Amino acid sequence: MTGAAITHSHQFEAVLQLADDHLILGQRVSEWCGHAPMLEEDLGLANMALDLLGQSRALYAYAAEIEGAGRSEDDLAFLRLERQYLNCLLVERPNGDFAHSILRQLYFAAFMHPFWQWVSANSTDETLRGIAGKAEKEMAYHVRHCGEWVVRLGDGTEKSAHRIKAAVVALHHYTDELFQGSAAMATCAEDAILPDVETLRPVWTATITNIFAQALLEVPDVAHPQTGGRIGEHGEEMGHILAELQYMQRTYPNLQW
Amino acid sequence: MAKPATTDNLDTARAWAAAAAVPDPEVPCVTVADLGILRDVTIEDGVAVAHVTPTYSGCPAVLAIELAVEAALLDAGFEARIERVMTPSWTTDWITPEGSEKLRAYGIAPPVRGSNSKMALFGETVITCPRCGSSETTKVSEFGSTACKAHYTCKACAEPFDYFKCI
Ligand SMILES: [Zn+2]
């Protein structure tokens, strides 16, 4: 070993960042399995988690291929340290109650849907176009399903409206980070591999505004956006997620089944 | 014009037939060819290469399907390899008309082609009951027994049924 750090390409880092978003949110949503308020939602949440994990697998596998350093999708998912994860803070937020989890999913899916639509139609990268072709349709389902729930909760009972309003207060200031991108993302945007995330903001805002209007919710102004995930600065909860996610590989290194 | 019947062409046809007959592990009434998951089978340096595409990103059956296709080719006497094809992405429009008919006969409503109401809140596509043909059906759950299905019930014959989601 010479000790020289491997220089990673922008493309590797951007794909890794996307993979981390999907893995961490998938892990969070899968915590609902067996705990949802009704059977339909238990299936629904497990299915959405499965979509996210499936998307993350394809992304990690591609990141590993770009890196070409012999690391596998599993190495990338399970054997990195907390500061090396590039996911946004929104996806690591705790599940809270059902309203929190559904709103978090809506915020994320309303961003990823136009993101994948752009990739599928415009990207110069064929592998990402293939991943996007599936993901955009899966994300459309998430937007619809979670959007319908936000309307039901907001325009439902006094209690349900109270809960979804509390979720908006707790989570809305994490949404700005979706549009901040990173140096790696910006370079990929210049090469037309990935979209310039800032250009997706009007679509996201229109989706959220439309759903909130039906849900009798106000879209709050964000005075102090919460950021840091894109440079590996995570909240306290991130370590807890990784402790559970990586438990097997840390306890029994190289375990396979 | 028919290709000359060389050994290679015969082998390719035989390999295709072996791979194409593999049933889907979750919906065994249809084969991987009916679903459009098996894109092609080629012979490369004497090895049968099956080009397989995943359906949904998180489909847990992907590996099972690939192993089953490989096993079918080995059983037919070929050396075999699987190649995973990502582009063009699979959509439900890849399901053949025969595949759709087999799904219906099995009791699963086939996907509505070109359906485009996925973003409409509370939007309902009309799904026809696979048992009695009535369009008086209601969605019970967006998510059904497997990732690829939604759960419906028919008001006319009162039977529940699965709808193969359109993606
Ligand atoms: Zn019926």
In a domain, A138, yes or no: yes
Domain membership of residue B31 as a residue range: 6-84
Return the structure tokens found at A148: 């319908």
First to last CA, chain B: 36
Q: What confidence tens digit (pLDDT) does each residue in A84-95 have?
A: 999 999 999 999
Q: In the listed set B54, B84, B114, which residue is the last one of a domain according to the structure?
A: B84
> Is A147 a domain residue?
yes
Contact (Cβ atoms closer than 8 angstroms) between residue B23 and residue B38:
no
Question: Do the domain assignments include residue B50?
Answer: yes
Q: Which residues of A touch B122 (CB under 8 A)?
A: 148, 151
Alpha helices in chain B (DSSP H): 7-20, 32-35, 62-75, 97-106
pLDDT per residue as tens digits for the range A153-166 = 999 999 999 999 99
Specify the pLDDT at position A85: 97
Q: Is residue B136 assigned to a domain?
A: yes
The pLDDT score that the predictor gives to residue B119 is 66
Distance CA A115, CA A139 (A): 10
Residue A244's pLDDT is what? 94
Interatomic CA distance for residues A103 and B98, integer angstroms: 41
Query: pTM for the whole thing?
Result: 0.88
A54:B167 CB<8 A: no
Does A133 contact B at CB distance below 8 Å? yes
The tens digit of pLDDT for each residue in A181-230 reads: 889 999 999 999 999 999 999 999 999 999 999 999 999 998 899 999 99
- The answer to the question of residue A5 being in a domain is no
- Quote the percentage of chain B above a pLDDT of 70: 90
Could you tell me if B88 and B15 are in contact, meaning their C-beta atoms sit under 8 angstroms apart? no
The first and second tokens of residue A46, run together, are: 């497990």
CB-based contact B141 A143, cutoff 8 Å? no
Task: Determine the distance in angstroms separating the CA of B122 from the nearest CA of chain A, rounded to an integer.
Answer: 6
CA B113–ligand 1 middle distance (angstroms): 20
| Shortest distance, CA A42 to any CA of chain B (angstroms) | 9
Structural domain ending residue among the three candidates B29, B53, B84:
B84
Cβ neighbours of residue B3 closer than 8 Å, sequence gap 6 or more: B9
Q: Does B7 touch chain A (CB under 8 A)?
A: no
Tell if the CB–CB gap between B57 and A55 is shorter than 8 Å.
yes
Q: Is A98 exposed, middle or buried (0-12, 13-18, 19+ CB in 10 A)?
A: buried
Domain count, chain A: 1
Query: In the prediction, which pLDDT does B72 show?
Result: 97
**Chain B from 56 to 85: CB within 8 A of any A CB:** 56-60
Spatial distance between the Cα atoms of B150 and B132, rounded to a whole number of angstroms: 18
Is B138 in contact with B122 (CB distance < 8 Å)? no
How many domains in chain B? 2
Q: Which of B81, B77, B72 is nearest to B18 (CA)?
A: B72
CATH of the domain at B45: 3.30.300.130
Which of helix, strand or coil describes residue B39?
strand
Pair (B43, B104) in one structural domain: no
Q: Which residue has the higher pLDDT, A140 or B4?
A: A140
Same domain (yes/no): B78, B34:
yes
Q: Can you tell me the mean pLDDT for A67-80?
A: 94
Does the beta-carbon distance from B121 to A140 stay under 8 Å?
no
Domain that residue A226 falls in: 10-251
pLDDT given at position A108: 98
Decide if B6 touches A, using CB distance below 8 A. no
Distance B92 CA to ligand 1 centre (A): 23
Determine the pLDDT at residue B1.
41
